Amino acid sequence: MMADRGHWLKVMSGVLCLASMPAIAQAQTRAETLRQVTGNNIPTLDPTTPGATREAFGVSTSIYDRLVAFDRKKENGVWVFDRTKIRGELAESYEVSPDGLKITFKLRDAKWHDGTPVTAEDIKWSLDRAVSAKSIAAGQVGTGSLTKPEQFAVVDARTITVALPKADRLALANLATPLAPMFNSKLAKAHATSEDPWAQEWLKTNTAGSGAYTVEAFKPGEQLILRRNDDWKSGRGGQLAFFKRVIEQTIPDPATRANLIEKGDADIAIDLQASDVPSLQSRGKIKVESTPQSNGFTMIAFNTQMAPFDNVKVRKAVAAALPYDDMFSAAIFKRGFPLYNASWTSPPTANFPQPMPVKTDIAAAKQLLAEAGFPNGFKTTFSINVGSAAVTEPMAVLLKESLAKIGIEVDIQKLPDAQMSTQVTDKKLPFFTEGSTAWLPTTDYFFRNFFTGNQRWNYSSWNDEIVMTLANQARFEQDQAKYDEMGKAMIAEYVKETPMVLLWQANQDAVMVPQLDGYTYWFHRQVDFRDLSRK
């Protein structure tokens, strides 16, 4: 491995690399070690910590088990998560009562990383932590009516129940997200304090899990090395993970990440620039598995509480003036699924997102703007995130040119990531672009998260009474036909009011060495190391 190590030092100057890895990690053969390179970082090992990155969510699936997990399926030759099927993970089995008010979990014979048995008391403590600690978990699991410790009851050492106030469609699904990890309660409590009863500080850099991997070395923001847990029994069919070691490194420069994959010095990256992927493919040294981010969207948002975008005709005028096809080509090189140019007058399905009936029509845009009281247009700012400028800047330039045709003068405002996030949260931006995903992609979940309340994700500050009523009712509707009726009604109201404009679902391009198999597109948009193997 000396030649390999020297190559990493040369290519990755200034970045933590193979030379600084523990000897035990270097001792593994190349075939037994998986290396992922990412442009982002892992600041914490506890996915529920405020400020946890998407990378932290992904890694946690390999360190911690949940009670349950989504299954996966093949679509167009690529593995994707299957939100319609939930299987046991630490739970050997689960049963939902006929009225939907109680879920009973039977635990498998599993062990924590320290060799002690997983018990229902541990699960109870973990669920209590999810709803009680000051973390990002409570908000997520609360979308499934999991809000109080009193809902979780130990029946015996291997059985626990979850009680619900109403039959909630998303209760079980929430227990499959990265924000519902199960902790070794005895180990965690040994590091708790009166000021920190849930051991949140300790768990940022230490683990108390039962998952497929244990942490061998962790340098926040730089590198993580995982070692396979050979006692893991929660895998699909009880199979161990293929790789004995996993190394995840932060490499900020996308060109360097691409170079490492192409030379075989790293195995996989999922965050390369869309513009680089076609040329990488053309050289034939790597494999790309692409899938549209089916549980998300890129959009243009209007602040519906701020003039002139509080006027629906202004919003519709802008929607009619956007150069959709040109933006799709320039921003993501058509690597995705368009959410525009549909021709329907009433929603054909209850699925959201779906292609919407908007298209470029400058004449209609001018007419709508005149009807709105702005025959000569107006001036506004359009905000983009500097961190995603490779995508957003060409989109913004085209938008500016097209809106000028109807008299709207646009000043493009480039904001750093932190400032953009703050401005979005504080509802101070009149007009901007963002992208987002929903972990639990059901229509009511999308509408509750993105179109109701004074929450960060309600990008347009849109609080439509029809939508708020339907979204809250649909959550508890068990009859699928009635649920679909509600979904179509919400989508129709969205089209009528146009609080934002859906653009596309960008592809997630997983760029990897040809020998890698099993990559799966998960709702959290991160690699699950347990899926992967090498030919």
Kind of pairing between the strands at 520-521 and 78-88: parallel
183 close to 211: Cβ distance less than 8 angstroms: no
Element (DSSP H or E) covering residue 56: helix 54-63
CATH fold group of domain 1-63+211-284: D-Maltodextrin-Binding Protein; domain 2 (3.40.190)
Residues spanned by CATH 3.40.190.10 within the chain?
Answer: 1-63+211-284
- Which residue intervals of 384-514 are DSSP H helices? 389-404, 417-425, 443-450, 465-474, 480-497
The one-character DSSP state at 61 is H
**pLDDT (0 to 100) of residue 11:** 39
Among the four given CATH numbers 2.70.98.60, 3.40.50.620, 3.20.10.10, 3.10.105.10, the one describing domain 296-507: 3.10.105.10
pLDDT of residue 512: 98
Tokens of 494: 């969205």
From the list 198, 97, 91, 180, the residue with the least C-alpha distance to 144 is 180
Tokens of residue 203, six digits: 């768990």
CB 32 within 8 A of CB 23: no
Q: Do the Cβ atoms of 81 and 520 come closer than 8 Å?
A: yes
Every domain of the chain with CATH number 3.10.105.10 lies at 296-507
Contacts 24+ apart (CB under 8 A), 39-42: 39/250, 39/251, 39/252, 39/253, 39/254, 39/257, 39/271, 40/250, 40/271, 41/220, 41/221, 41/222, 41/250, 42/218, 42/220, 42/221, 42/224, 42/248, 42/250
Cα angle: 260, vertex 264, 266; to 5 degrees: 55
Our CA angle for 239, 271, 245, nearest 5°, is 35
- How far from the centroid of its chain's Cα atoms is residue 12's Cα? 28
pLDDT at residue 91 in the model: 97
Prediction pTM value: 0.89
Residue 334: half-sphere exposure toward Cβ, Cα within 13 Å: 4
Tokens of 385: 């995130």
* Token pair of 294 as six digits: 């089916």
Q: Which of 527, 528, 486, 494 is CA-nearest to residue 510?
A: 527
Containing H/E element for 533?
A: strand 533-534
Instruction: Report the SS3 class of residue 230.
Output: coil
pLDDT of residue 28: 60
Which residues lie closer than 8 Å to 339 by C-beta, 6 or more apart? 297, 353, 354, 355, 356, 502, 503, 504, 505
Position 29 scores a pLDDT of: 77
Residue owning tokens 């523990």? 22
Angle at CA of residue 246, ends 243 and 250, nearest 5°: 155
Sole residue written with tokens 């995705």: 336
Q: Which residues contact 77 (CB under 8 A, 6 or more apart)?
A: 289
pLDDT tens per residue, the chain (535 residues)? 333 334 343 334 434 443 344 444 444 678 899 999 999 999 999 999 988 989 999 999 999 999 999 999 999 899 999 999 999 999 999 999 999 999 999 999 999 999 999 999 999 999 999 999 999 999 999 999 999 999 999 999 999 999 999 999 999 999 999 999 999 999 999 999 999 999 999 999 999 999 999 999 999 989 999 999 999 987 777 789 999 999 999 999 999 999 999 999 999 999 998 889 999 999 999 999 999 999 999 999 999 999 999 999 999 999 999 999 999 999 999 999 999 999 999 999 999 999 999 999 999 999 999 999 999 999 999 999 998 898 999 999 999 999 999 999 999 999 998 899 899 999 999 999 999 999 999 999 999 999 999 888 999 999 999 999 999 999 999 999 999 999 999 999 999 999 999 999 999 999 999 999 999 999 999 999 999 999 8
**In the block, residue with structure tokens 């679509």:** 75
